[in-house]
A and B are shown apart, each in its own frame.
Chain A
Amino acid sequence: MRAAGARRILAAVVAVALVGAPMVALAQGGANRYLNHDELTTALRGLVSRHGTLAELSSLTRTDAGRDVWLLTLGRRQGGADPDSRSALLIVANLEANHLIGSATALATAEHLLTSYGRDAGITRLLDEHTVYLVPRANPDGAELVWSMAGYEIPYKPVASDPSKGGMNVRELGVDLNGDGLVTLMRVPDPAGTLMADPAEPRLMREANRARAERGRYRVMVEGIDPKNVEAYVAAGTDGVNLNRNFQHEYLYFQPHVGPHMVSEVESRALVDFAFDHPNIAAVLTFSAFDNLRTPPPADRRVPPGVTGNPPTVPTNIQPQDRPYFEFVSTRFQEMTSLRGAGADNEAGSFPQFVYYQLGLPSFTTPVWTLPPPEAGGRAGGPGGAGGAASRDARWLAHFAASNIDAFVDWTPARHPTLGDVEVGGFEPNARVNPPPAEIAALAASHAGFAAWLGQQLPKVEVVETTVEPRGEEVFLVTATVANEGYFPTQLQMGGRIQSNRPITIRLMPSTGMTVLSGNIQQQIPRLDGMGGRRTFTWLVQAAPGTSTTLELFAERAGGLMSTPITLR
């Protein structure tokens, strides 16, 4: 099986052009290839036209190149129901330019939810009582490079100032020296080089260990690159931007590919504004390079290197009371997808981190597809590591071999204009980012199932009981019990710490001739636990028997504004 790298995608583009009916497979419910922006737009419009009462397509913003960042809003609208008032799950995908499996999974999730409405009781309730916002491709300009710069592995959004190089800074880009359509690596024979072919896996290069009488023979660099350009000066903020490094929490100032400053890009700004402008969002799922689902976030997370300037008041860890929620959701994810693996590397400046640390919301992220975890114990002395466990690259090779995926270009001689004889080879671009198209459907289905489950865990606060009890002439004791029947609390500990939620507010609305003897018309509580967490409020009021009024309940991220009629008798 061919990997989902550049060769496969190029082939797909040609095939589509010949067949001319790119949407057929998707419309039938099976995603089997990756979609460029126009195809994704067509697919989304198709979904909306088939499920118009449940789905709405709008544009979050327009990119520098004029592409829409699409937002799909899923949820019941009949009878004037307003999806923006109900507690909502936000799903964001394809922040990293080449993470196409993320957008494919997001699209499959939308399709799964829409086609299951009316058939699956849980999903029907999800779309009736909640809302799902879906941004299937947060980085359309970057994603398009997979096609327009086919053969390169580019996780960055292009920078407008350098369109001739696909917006990438020149030192990032190589040249296809050997004409195979791919830009991989080249190894340059060099007595001063520190690398050698790994005896256990000669396709991989590793540092020679001089203490073990090994000798370095090669330098390795991007295929076709001119070493002069590698040394050329690149000013901070002028290279391609990885959108998933452009957010506010633990932003890596002036590092490569983070943008000129935090939230510098129209796409990241639109996402952050949308999140703040929709205080009904109660949880966020991101399909991105990072992962806190295959493995829950570590209990004692270390601040990533390069993060500076934060005072001790900036949280660096999942709060203790929030941790069990992350662990539970991770467990359910592993059950539903059968996926396990190592957690995130360094999520500094990422969107999922922003969501938890600066919006205070449950924030989950998974790359959908990545390297399976090493076998228990690891193989001592395996290839790739100098005497240690197998390196990630070696595990990738083993994984590709086991899956019958052809994703490594064997080293072959080539001629470099200034360096002379070199060898070209290495992993096919994007092969370690996206699975082969044949694997999309199964992965997308299991993740769509998880997303649907996650949506059903949102907090949902209601008035579950009211009582009116006479306490003498014209005096009544009114009680109202409010309960959260969802799984998540209305506010995580982090949300409380950073004051990101307005309190749950309940008001006994004024009515002619009614006086609240107990003083406060309005009462507030900061949060309510999930799984039936409840609280009873009381008012002592004076009014003529038969007086009617309403109870108004406001739960920002757990149902919005709700009213309950009360008659005093």
Chain B
Amino acid sequence: MTITRMLTHILGTVAMAAVALATVPAPASAQMFAQPNRDPRVNLRFDRYYDHAQITTALQQLQQAYPKFLTLSSLGKSVEGRDLWIVTINNPDTGAHTTKAGFWADGNIHGNEIQGAEVNLYLIWFLMENYDALPKVKTLVDQRAFYIVPTMNPDGRDNFLNTGGPSRSGMKPIDTDRDGRLGEDLQDDLDGDGEIFQMRKHVPGQGTHVVSPIDPRLMVVAPAGTRGDYLMLGPEARDTDGDGRRGENPRGGYDMNRDFPSDWQPPHVQGGANRYPFSWPETRAVGNWLKAHPNIAAVQSWHNSGGMILRGPGSQHYKGTGNYTNRDNATYEYLGERGALILPFYRYMTVWRDLYTVYGGTLDWAHDALGAVAFTNELWSNQQFYAQAWTDESPIPEEQRALFFNDRLGMGAWFKDWAPFEHPDLGDIEIGGTSNRWYGRTTPPFMLQELVHRNAMFALFHADELPLVEWGPVTVERIAGNTWRVKAEMRNTRAIPTRIEAAELYNTGAPDVMTIAGPTVQAGGVTAGEFGDALTMQVTDPDRIVLRSGIAGRNRVSVTWIVTGTGTATIEYRSLKGGTHRTTVTLR
């Protein structure tokens, strides 16, 4: 399908969808998850992938179906001019989104790691469709603000979905071959089958590879000391710049997940980094939004693949220790270890220790600068095809595994048989091989539904453990005459502290405060003493007690004031991530 025809088709779909929504009365309450014999209000499928235009349509449908809760807006434009959509989910009846602990999810910053967008779509869809049916969902939507960016890299996503081309990067042309020209020697779908496969040339006795004795579709390196019959010529491409290399300067070639300003390093240390952090329109737009919403307490990024729940730090040199603080580690461990139960085949891991070193990744910036608890899930693992570990005893040899799955689970969908092609520069060649697009890092449709649900549930577990504060006992006790001891306790009923230790260490964001207004404040401070009958005095501004550590997970903080006066006292607790809470007591 040509691009123009495809756009017409998509636009047609949008128009039809709008009409359908306007004319078909929606069911009074969608309950498809609790009662899976019913249809949802917005009929999205999760056994397929969505390109940018289709994501746009789906988000517009959701927004039209749930206008009270959903706000769809654009963070900015990608390099190629696509909107960077962000969906805000909030119940306005329970307060503005900025007053609630915020949960952020982004996906697909690497263009070829596509499932993240589907997880995010599912997350939005699930929360909306089940709001009325499931009290747990209702509570989450009422208590939290969700900020969801389905795809951070719509350009790379569309390039991957439409061509299977190399698109971890964004699509800005850069001079990867250092010849002073930009994007001049691209990979190219030569045979026009809609995907870039591999090229091989038959050169009997002159090559490097031979056909595998196990399976004639497989190519293996010729045994040592012998010559092969084939040359492997890489992905489909021509040598358009005449430098003897083919497809060596694709558009892009950079890594937007090395573009965040914590523990950032230049390209000679960290491959894929650019001039400085937030140097791409996509990362800059996301960074600006995150900086402007200090209520965000959780950052979840979806990547692929390998089956990992990753946390920072990204580098063994981070702050000279290669680790977060003990207090923060405990929070991560609580969430990560339970997450691994929600997500079979996923392991809870630290980036540098268990994967590889990353400078300038999202995780460390979210943790250090935003004071947010941040995870990156590497979605999907090929291990999931086969419910047991692959061993030497398996009846299928390791090398044939992909083809076995292709034949027996994919019915041939993931391998293109080698077919002759007349290459303008290379003469008679063959094109074929494993699909880079649909096999490997991409979950097959029949397993996608489970993937998006389990990961969305991990996100909701994380969102549910964001700080949630409520008043404990607030007491007034006469000391003498009109002098009173006022004691106020604030409780955090969830696992994540209102202020992680990194925020306290690096002074990021304002600390929590507890204030009292009304009577004259003679002294104030955090309650102390074995029986809570003493206080650690704060000498300056005793009416405004600063709680630098916030309130720890499933813990409480008590403040004591000695005041003189009559009437009432208004006590307020203010926290960037814990919200603002006010109560009034009578001095008597």
- Residue of B with least CB distance to A228: B540
B464 within 8 A of A: no
Q: What separation, in Å, do the CA atoms of A502 and B181 have in the docked complex?
A: 12
In the assembled complex, the CB of A118 is this many whole angstroms from the nearest CB of chain B, namely 34
Contact across chains for B264 and A248 when beta carbons are under 8 A apart: yes
Are B275 and A233 in contact, CB atoms less than 8 angstroms apart? no
Of the listed stretches A90-98, A174-182, A256-264, chain B binds A256-264
* Complex contact B263–A237 (CB within 8 A): no
A-B pairs with beta carbons under 8 A, tally: 88
B510 A233 Cβ-Cβ under 8 A: yes
Q: A228-B541, A235-B508, A254-B507 are in contact. Are A313 and B269 (CB under 8 A)?
A: yes
B317 & A311 in contact (Cβ 8 Å cutoff):
yes
**Interface flag for A308 (CB, 8 Å):** yes
A228-B541, A236-B507, A248-B264 known; A309+B276 contact, CB < 8 A: no
Which of B267, B277, B315 is within 8 Å of A311, CB to CB? B315
Are B540's CB and A235's CB within 8 A? no
Contact among A228, A231, A254 with B506 in the assembled complex (CB-CB below 8 Å):
A254
CA distance A497 to B509 in the complex (A): 38
> For residue A522, which residues in chain B have a CB less than 8 angstroms away from its CB?
243
Contact with B along A227-264 (1 / 0, CB 8 A): 11001011111000000000010010110000011111
Binary per-residue interface labels of chain A (305-320) against chain B in the complex, 1 for a CB within 8 Å, 0 otherwise = 0001111011000000
Contact across chains for B268 and A236 when beta carbons are under 8 A apart: no
- Cβ of A263 and Cβ of B506 under 8 Å apart? no
Q: Which chain A residues in 280-338 approach chain B with CB under 8 Å? A: 308-311, 313-314
Complex Cα–Cα for A272 and B274 (A) = 11
Are B268 and A262 interface neighbours, CB within 8 A? no
Q: Are B275 and A311 in contact (CB under 8 A)?
A: no
- Give the interface size class of chain A: 35 or more
Q: Which of A234, A260, A500 contacts B291 (CB 8 A)?
A: A260
**Is there a chain B Cβ closer than 8 Å to A554's Cβ?**
yes
Given known pairs A309-B315, A498-B266, the reply for A273 and B540 (CB within 8 Å) is no
Alpha-carbon distance A228/B543, docked complex (angstroms): 13
In the complex the two chains form, what is the Cα distance from A311 to B317 in whole Å?
6
| Beta-carbon nearest neighbor of B287 in chain A | A261
**A314→B359 CA distance, assembly (Å):** 12
CB distance from A271 to the nearest CB of B (A): 11
B511 within 8 A of A: yes
Closest to A502 in B: B178
With the chains together, A252 CA to B437 CA distance in Å?
A: 42
Which single residue of chain A is at the shortest CB-CB distance from B316?
Answer: A311
Name the residue of chain A whose CB is nearest to the CB of B322: A309
Is A537 at the interface (CB under 8 A from chain B)?
Answer: no
Contacts of B243 in A (CB 8 A): 522
Contact between B266 and A248, CB atoms less than 8 A apart: yes
Q: How does the 8 Å CB contact mask read for A198-232 relative to B, with 1 for contact and 0 for none?
A: 00000000000000000000000000000110010
Whether B262 is near chain A, meaning CB under 8 Å from some CB there, is yes
Contacts of A61 in B (CB 8 A): none
Contacts of B318 in A (CB 8 A): 308-309
**Chain B residues near A264 (CB-CB < 8 A):** 261
Structural contact, B265 and A235, CB atoms closer than 8 A: no
Q: B402 near A: Cβ within 8 Å?
A: no
In angstroms, how far is the closest chain A Cβ from the Cβ of B237?
20
Main SS of chain A's interface residues?
loop
Q: Which residue on chain B has the smallest CB distance to residue A248?
A: B276
Complex contact B320–A308 (CB within 8 A): yes
User: B267, B511, B540: which contacts A231 (Cβ < 8 A)?
Assistant: B540
B324 to chain A, nearest CB (A): 13
Known interface pairs A233-B510, A248-B266, A502-B180; A261-B261 also in contact (CB < 8 Å) = yes
Distance A237 CA – B318 CA, assembled complex (angstroms) = 20
Minimum CB–CB distance from A418 to chain B (whole Å) comes to 11
Contacting B275 at CB < 8 Å: which of A234, A273, A497, A498?
A273
A233 to B540, CA, bound (A): 12
Residues in A whose Cβ lies below 8 Å from that of B262: 253, 261
Closest CB in chain A relative to B364 CB, distance in Å: 9
B220 interfacial contact with A, CB 8 Å: no
Q: Identify the interface centre among B276, B278, B540: most chain A CB within 10 Å of its CB.
A: B276
Complex Cα spacing A251 to B263, Å = 9
Most chain A C-beta atoms within 10 Å of own C-beta, residue among B179, B507, B546: B507
Which among A308, A313, A358 is the interface contact of B319 at CB below 8 angstroms? Answer: A308
Give per-residue flags for B309-343: 1 if the beta carbon is below 8 A from chain A beta carbons, else 0.
00000011111100000000000000000000000
Contact indicator A263/B277 (Cβ below 8 Å)? yes
Is B501's beta carbon under 8 Å from chain A? no
Residues of B near A340 (CB, < 8 A) are none
Residues of B within 8 A of A310 (CB): 265, 317
- 1/0 per residue, CB under 8 A from A, across B8-49: the answer is 000000000000000000000000000000000000000000
Check B269–A236 contact: CB distance below 8 A.
Answer: no
Task: Check: B158 CB closer than 8 A to any chain A CB.
Answer: no
CB of B113 within 8 A of chain A?
A: no
Structural contact, A309 and B510, CB atoms closer than 8 A: no
A269 interface residue (CB < 8 Å to B):
yes
Contact residues in A for B365 (Cβ distance below 8 Å):
261
Could you say which residues of chain B place their CB within 8 Å of the CB of A276? Answer: 275
Q: Is B182 an interface residue (CB 8 A)?
A: no
User: Is A148 in contact with chain B by the CB < 8 A criterion?
Assistant: no
Which of A254, A309, A502 has a CB less than 8 Å from the CB of B320?
A309
Interface string of A363-394 (1 = CB under 8 A from B): 00000000000000000000000000000000
Min C-beta distance of B535 to chain A, whole Å: 18
Question: Complex: how many Å from CA A233 to CA B548?
Answer: 10
In the complex, what distance in Å separates the CA atom of A377 from the CA atom of B491? Answer: 64
Q: Which of A228, A254, A309, A497 contacts B508 (CB 8 A)?
A: A254
CA distance A261 to B284 in the complex (A): 12
Tell me the bound Cα distance from A231 to B319 in angstroms. Answer: 26
Residues A263 and B276 in contact in the complex (CB < 8 Å), given A235-B507, A309-B263: yes
A499 CB-CB contact with B under 8 Å? yes
Q: Quick check: A237 and B508 within 8 Å, CB to CB?
A: yes
Q: Is the CB of B369 within 8 A of A260?
A: yes
Smallest Cβ-Cβ distance to B541: which chain A residue:
A228
Task: Point out the residues of chain B lying under 8 angstroms from A498, CB to CB.
Answer: 266, 268
B277 touches A261 (CB 8 A): yes
A500 to B277, CA, bound (A): 18
The answer to whether A227 and B268 have CB atoms under 8 Å apart is no
Mask: chain B, 266-301; 1 = CB below 8 Å from A; 0 = not: 111100000111100000000000010000000000
Complex Cα spacing A497 to B267, Å: 11
Q: Measured between C-beta atoms, what is the minimum distance from B499 to chain A in Å?
A: 12
B129 on the A face (CB < 8 A)? no
Which chain B residues lie closer than 8 Å to A311 at the CB level? 265, 269, 315-317, 357
| Contact flags A498-524 to B (C-beta < 8 A → 1, else 0) | 111011000000000000000000100
Does B118 belong to the interface (CB within 8 Å)? no
In the complex, whether B368 has a CB less than 8 A from a CB of chain A is: yes
Chain B 444-501 interface residues, beta-carbon cutoff 8 Å to A: none
CB-CB under 8 A for A309 and B369, given A228-B541, A233-B510, A499-B268: no
Complex Cα gap A309–B321 (Å): 8
Residues of the A chain whose Cβ atoms lie less than 8 Å from the Cβ of B546: 233
Contact of A314 among B179, B180, B269, B506 (CB under 8 A): B269
- Across the A-B interface, give the 9 residue pairs with the lowest CB-CB distance, nearest first: A261-B261, A263-B276, A254-B506, A498-B268, A236-B507, A309-B263, A228-B540, A308-B320, A311-B317
Query: Can you list 10 A-B contacts with CB-CB less than 8 angstroms, sorted by A residue number?
Result: A228-B540, A248-B266, A253-B506, A262-B277, A264-B261, A309-B320, A311-B315, A311-B357, A499-B268, A502-B178
Extra A-B contacts (12), CB below 8 Å, given A263-B278, A502-B180: A234-B507, A248-B264, A253-B368, A308-B317, A308-B318, A309-B318, A309-B320, A311-B269, A311-B315, A313-B268, A313-B269, A358-B266
- B residues with a Cβ closer than 8 A to A are 178-180, 243, 261-269, 275-278, 291, 315-320, 357, 365, 368-369, 506-511, 540-541, 546
